[in-house]
Amino acid sequence: MTRGGLVMAMEPFADEASALQVGGLKIENRLDRVSLYGSLDLTRDKAGLRLARELHTILEAVVAALQREDTALPETVQTAQGEDTVKNPFG
């Protein structure tokens, strides 16, 4: 997929395996979400502009995918976060 001159190796919400990286920011694809984690400094220089454009292109693709399904989208998606609670072994 090509968007804004950037070749994207990921179609948002299309699979459980694709991932991209922009600087120190990782973007992982899932069928029910796109996860972003890490850190990204957008500096006031050409390198910062390039990174900002890459991030913009990725987020633009995510928004477009969501907009295509707007009326069919649920209000929220259940996530597994917080379900793996382990008893504190120290007290």
Query: Is 76 part of a structural domain of the chain?
Result: no
Residue 81, in any domain of the structure: no
pLDDT at 82: 58
Structural domain contains residue 85: no
Is 75 a domain residue?
A: no
In a domain, 43, yes or no: yes
Number of domains in the chain: 1
Tell me, yes or no, whether 23 lies in a domain.
yes
Strands (E) located in the chain: 2-3, 6-7, 19-22, 24-29, 34-39
Q: Where is pLDDT greater, at 28 or 4? A: 28
Lowest mean pLDDT segment, chosen from 10-19, 33-42, 48-57, 80-89: 80-89
Q: Structure pTM?
A: 0.78
**pLDDT for 3 beyond 60:** no
Domain of residue 20 covers: 2-70
